Amino acid sequence: MKFKPVHILVFLLAVCITAISVNFFVLKKNFDPKDLILDAFSFCSSNSSNRTESILCVRKFLEKDMAKNDIGPFIVSVDDMISSGELSPTSAECHNIVHAIGQVGGMYSQNINETILQCSSLCTYGCFHGVVEGFVMGGGDLFKEISSLCRIENNRLFESACYHGLGHGFASIADYDIKKAFSFCDLLSAEGQRINCGFGVFMELYGMGSFAHAPLEWPENIPEFCQTLTDPYSFICHISAGSQEYSRSQDTAKAFGTCQSVPQETFSRCNIGIGRIVYHLFKDSELKIIEACQNNRNNSEDVFLDCIRGAVDASYDFNSEKGLEICRSINGELGLKCLEALERGQVP
């Protein structure tokens, strides 16, 4: 039987297609998200100076290989790295990696809610923050999806993290206009959703942003600025006023003084917020945490205990024993109050 040239060409084409398919399958099968994550981590650790740069670097590094892959295997790989001790679940690097993974997933998502469900609580919920932000970066219409967005059944923590990420995204869509961003948060149906969204807006605009832009400067008088906002954003602003002042001035006395100017119903929460920042700055030294919390102008025991409560509360996210160590380091009756509160399952 003679083969015509056209038959030979068809045969060769079939062979080529088969070879390409086999090679694609082998590449797909041998694709190792962990190696890619380690390469990104190694490269970006030496080429980024802050959180925003780190997330941007990891995202760009992962993007070309992740674009057509679900984020699930990448999240599983991060979990494996934590289990093997290669990555600390409480480190900034861990959060930045899963945040960037989430962003890439969101950018190329065909169904934002399905993508969100591939996230987990790893690395302080960074994946949830990233997916919603990535959806915005990819041109997704958050307003079209808003009625069903972040509805994660039976998991309020996951939902909260998702709405927080939504706040970051709204800040970007609003071109970093705070009141416009809050007007987008107002489209959410429940106050808890709006509060988490509002925290995300504040963080994006004034703190550790996820989009490439210069952070805004807090006004000199933070409580006075908070009064210009509507609730629940005025409430969020007031309870954050002391910690924002401390982040700016590194002066706990000045930060506690700022809390003196907030409404009475937010005064205790304002002091607690300072304690949370104090913990993150001095988590390796119980004595420095205690000294910082003692540095309030009126030497108030209530203010001190509020601050310690914030520090102990923040420690639970990283080390369940740290709160006990902090309480044991406090002398006298206040130390006993702290320990008694812990035994009751409450921070002081």
Q: Dump pLDDT digits (tens) for 187-213.
A: 998 999 999 999 999 988 988 766 666
Reported as a pLDDT band with limits 50, 70 and 90, residue 31 is low
Reported as a pLDDT band with limits 50, 70 and 90, residue 220 is very high
pLDDT value of position 9: 40
Residue 98 has pLDDT above 90, yes or no: yes
Residue 279: HSE in the Cβ half-sphere, 13 Å Cα cutoff = 25
Helix axes of 301-315 and 264-282: crossing angle, nearest 10 degrees:
50
CA distance 347 to 325: 13
Question: Mean pLDDT over all residues of the chain?
Answer: 84
Degrees (nearest 5) of the Cα angle 108, 70, 14? 95
What average pLDDT does this structure show over 10-30?
38
Helix axes of 33-45 and 72-83: crossing angle, nearest 10 degrees:
70
What average pLDDT does this structure show over 37-66?
87
CA distance 289 to 283: 7
Give the other-Cβ count within 10 Å of 132's Cβ. 31
CA distance 172 to 85: 35
- For residue 165, give the amino acid letter: G
Residue 299 has pLDDT above 80, yes or no: no
Residue 230 has pLDDT above 90, yes or no: yes
Residue 5 has pLDDT above 70, yes or no: no
**Would you state the structure tokens that stand for residue 262, as one six-digit string?**
């907030």
Give the other-Cβ count within 10 Å of 29's Cβ. 7
SS3 content of the chain, % helix, strand, coil (to 5): 70, 0, 30
Q: State pLDDT tens for residues 239-281.
A: 999 999 998 898 989 999 999 999 999 999 999 999 999 998 8
- Cis ω for the linkage preceding 232 (within 30 of 0): yes
Residue 11 has pLDDT above 60, yes or no: no
Q: Which of 24-28, 109-113, 120-124, 286-290 has the highest mean pLDDT?
A: 286-290
Give the other-Cβ count within 10 Å of 38's Cβ. 16
Residue 134 has pLDDT above 80, yes or no: yes
| 104 in Cβ contact with 127 (< 8 Å) | no
CA distance 188 to 162: 12
Residue 23 has pLDDT above 50, yes or no: no
pLDDT value of position 27: 36
Cα–Cα distances in angstroms (integers) from residue 184 to residues 103, 105, 137, 152, 197, in the given order = 20, 23, 17, 20, 9
**Would you state the structure tokens that stand for residue 334, as one six-digit string?**
């206040």
Residue 95 has pLDDT above 90, yes or no: no
| 294 in Cβ contact with 256 (< 8 Å) | no
Alpha-carbon torsion (220, 238, 95, 103), positive or negative? negative
Q: Output 17 or 211, whichever has higher pLDDT.
A: 211
pLDDT value of position 10: 39
Q: State pLDDT tens for residues 121-131.
A: 888 788 988 89
Residue 235 has pLDDT above 50, yes or no: yes
3-state secondary structure 213-271: CCCCCCCCCHHHHHCCCCCCHHHHHHHHHHHHHHHHHCCHHHHHHHHCCCCHHHHHHHH
Reported as a pLDDT band with limits 50, 70 and 90, residue 14 is very low
Residue 348 has pLDDT above 60, yes or no: no
Residue 287 has pLDDT above 90, yes or no: yes
What average pLDDT does this structure show over 61-82?
88
- In this prediction, what percent of the chain has a pLDDT beyond 70? 87
3-state secondary structure 4-30: CHHHHHHHHHHHHHHHHHHHHHHHHHH
CA distance 198 to 168: 9
Q: State pLDDT tens for residues 140-181.
A: 888 888 778 888 777 888 888 888 888 888 888 888 899 999
pLDDT value of position 155: 82
**Would you state the structure tokens that stand for residue 189, as one six-digit string?**
């149906």
Q: Which residues contact 134 (CB under 8 A, 6 or more apart)?
A: 102, 103, 104, 105, 106, 107, 108, 109
